[in-house]
Chains A and B, each alone.
Chain A
């Protein structure tokens, strides 16, 4: 899989020049195309309901994908996020148990647990030298075992105050989507403007070179995994606020593990690490949500949706690879 990476060119590929413009260009094109197709059937894609729908759908995936971006930038990936989301929605909802006074402790506890899982992932990957694919798949299976043993369905209850997080909106824009975008902004700032952020790219570009230049690569990898898991924890809390309770399979039913990876690479981040960023990821998430919403409006069967998603993913990444080749 390392075919796309020619070692000699790598150092130039730090953080600038990612194909963000192309992603947003494609998004605009898709919105126009979708609007025309929907209009031909007598509907409107981008009315208040449509915008609300696209943004609501983007929120949970966006949160996970922001975290996944961090991990992928270091050249790893995280397959445990889907189960972790379910786990976090349960921890949050069960700790709150309908009591508004418990919101803050519940949020903190959930994020601490998520960070713990991320720390575990990071330690196994960085210290035990286990391939991230296997390490996070193993963690996923362990969390799955815990969920299968302990839960038979939705559990816990979030107070109504907390549900406002999932349902309030300003015009057609959900508050939660704004919070997600704010987090994306924070992640962008972290990646583009801080030293640890720069280290993430360096480790993803070439771990050995990074180590020789004095970066503590283990710490960087662990940090990325912790950030990713915390983002998944936030997604779990958001979904709990939407559902009113915790649900063990809310993350896996939606396939957030592979879907978040798809969104990240769709946004132009290199799967091998070292290149890309959060801005592209958000574009990728919006593209997937727009596709979904357009197909819903057109009444397309879910099977056809899968085919299109698969093709879009492959074509997009092939186009990015071509762009890089031409440079």
Chain B
């Protein structure tokens, strides 16, 4: 009897000793204030807006013709502490591959990894757009002896603690696409941003439709920070130029929905002079709504999807495509190797964000690519092009 008690006690003591927590340590003020609801609800930040508008004219530093290796106004940080002999084990926690943009980017990233023999192992976990899974994924990757960890966060606020935990493990962390509310990653890679995207499109349309023009804005979803920034900037530009915005509607990126919405507006308004889009996926369907109504195509801002570029070229549209380039998926791999070599990298690696216009359209249009392939993949010279992206 006594023996049983002792055993139980010992077991309990052992269990207690094994108690531990994976809770990321508190990081002072870095995360808490930025998560306040007031700031989450307001998607406009004047200083950041002005910064992005100015960045559009900045001269990129880095190799000519390789925008994925270029950086705008970089502030370099030393990475000597991470230098390591190869071969390397690079890990990647991906938010999801559930849309064509991420598909093209993901294929481009895999091709980039293939270019580097010094990457012996590339481990990827896909969070399937679930925040909770990505938190688990990051902690799972940390237990796999990664030399560097790349993270493409699913949501900014909720992934911040997990990224902080990853930083604390000593593994160099590289974040790209969406950011996190902490500056602990070695580098954060992203194109200029949503304000620049939205403003460029709105400035173009304002110039085309004039001050008595009517513009319809088509948006994907409310509440996605990157997309909200695009619209917040466009709204201001249109207001400044006195352009009438007849409506801002959500399409959920469904072509049929977008086409119906545009048909409704054409019926109601009689004429629409310009279409502003925060995502070009449905651009072709939108243009068809004008065709089916027997109207001239409007001035339109889309994106660099092949089907839109093709229609643009075939019909000589008045169009512009600000981009959120998929070539940014190459950069994290390059950054990881630079860091593991101890070379310095920009703390915030801002990639140039090219604009497709009628002048350079041909450069981004590739025959035979899938309709939703993104022209700015930066993959044209990579091995396996174009089959790998088809």
Contacts and interface: CB of A to CB of B under 8 A. Distances in A.
Interface stretch (A153-161, A208-216, A270-278): A153-161
A167 B22 contact: yes
B136 A247 contact: no
B19 A169 contact: yes
A7 B94 CA distance: 50
Question: Which of A155, A157, A171, A253 has the largest count of B CB atoms less than 10 A from its CB?
Answer: A253
Interface in B224-255: 224-225, 228
B136 A57 contact: yes
B328 to A, nearest CB: 21
Question: Which of A60, A148, A152 has the largest count of B CB atoms less than 10 A from its CB?
Answer: A152
A157 B21 contact: no
Contacts of A152: 40-41, 43, 222-223, 228
B21 A153 contact: no
Contacts of B126: 296, 301-302
Interface string A35-63: 00000000000011100110011001000
Interface in A128-156: 148, 151-156
Given A49-B143, A153-B225, A242 B135 contact: yes
B143 A167 contact: no
Contacts of A242: 132, 135
Measured as residues with beta carbon below 8 angstroms from the partner, the interface class of chain A is: 35 or more
A157 B43 contact: no
Contacts of B131: 243, 247, 250, 253
A244 B222 CA distance: 22
B133 A254 contact: yes
B171 interface: no
Contacts of A155: 37, 40-41
Given A153-B157, A168-B20, A254 B130 contact: yes
Contact of B23 (A153, A154, A163): A163
Nearest to B97: A302
A83 B128 CA distance: 18
Contacts of A47: 143
Question: Which of A52, A154, A168, A171 has the largest count of B CB atoms less than 10 A from its CB?
Answer: A154
B263 interface: no
Contact of A301 (B26, B40, B97): B97
Contacts of A167: 21-24
A168 B143 contact: no
Contact of A171 (B15, B21, B24, B35): B15
A197 to B, nearest CB: 31
Given A56-B136, A152-B222, A296-B140, A171 B18 contact: yes
Contacts of B124: 299
Nearest to B250: A148
Nearest to B43: A152
A164 interface: yes
A245 interface: yes
Interface in B3-24: 15-16, 18-24
Contact of A169 (B22, B26, B43): B22
A49 B144 contact: yes
A9 interface: no
A253 B140 CA distance: 21
A319 B139 CA distance: 37
Contacts of B144: 49
A157 B32 contact: yes
Question: Which of B37, B133, B140, B228 has the largest count of A CB atoms less than 10 A from its CB?
Answer: B37
A199 B225 CA distance: 49
B155 A247 contact: yes
A318 interface: no
Nearest to A250: B131
Interface string B109-137: 00000000000000111101111110111
A94 interface: yes
Question: Which of B136, B144, B228 has the largest count of A CB atoms less than 10 A from its CB?
Answer: B136
Contacts of A245: 35, 157-158
B161 interface: yes
A289 to B, nearest CB: 10
A325 interface: no
B326 to A, nearest CB: 18
Nearest to A240: B158
Contacts of A248: 223
B35 to A, nearest CB: 5
A170 interface: yes
A151 B21 contact: no
A226 interface: no
Contact of A244 (B37, B97, B158): B158
Interface string B29-44: 0011001110011010
A180 interface: no
A156 B37 CA distance: 6
B160 interface: yes
A88 interface: no
A239 interface: yes
A37 B37 CA distance: 46
Question: Which of B132, B137, B225, B228 has the largest count of A CB atoms less than 10 A from its CB?
Answer: B132
Given A245-B35, A247-B155, A60 B19 contact: no
Contacts of A168: 19-23
Interface string B331-370: 0000000000000000000000000000000000000000
A153 B155 contact: yes
Contacts of A254: 130, 132-133
Contacts of A49: 139-140, 143-144
A48 B23 contact: no
11 contacts: A48-B143, A60-B132, A151-B223, A155-B37, A167-B22, A170-B16, A242-B135, A244-B158, A245-B157, A245-B158, A254-B133
Given A152-B43, A168-B23, A243-B132, 7 more contacts: A48-B143, A60-B132, A154-B35, A155-B41, A157-B32, A244-B161, A250-B131
Query: 8 tightest A-B contacts by CB?
Result: A152-B223, A167-B23, A49-B143, A243-B158, A171-B18, A154-B157, A168-B21, A167-B22
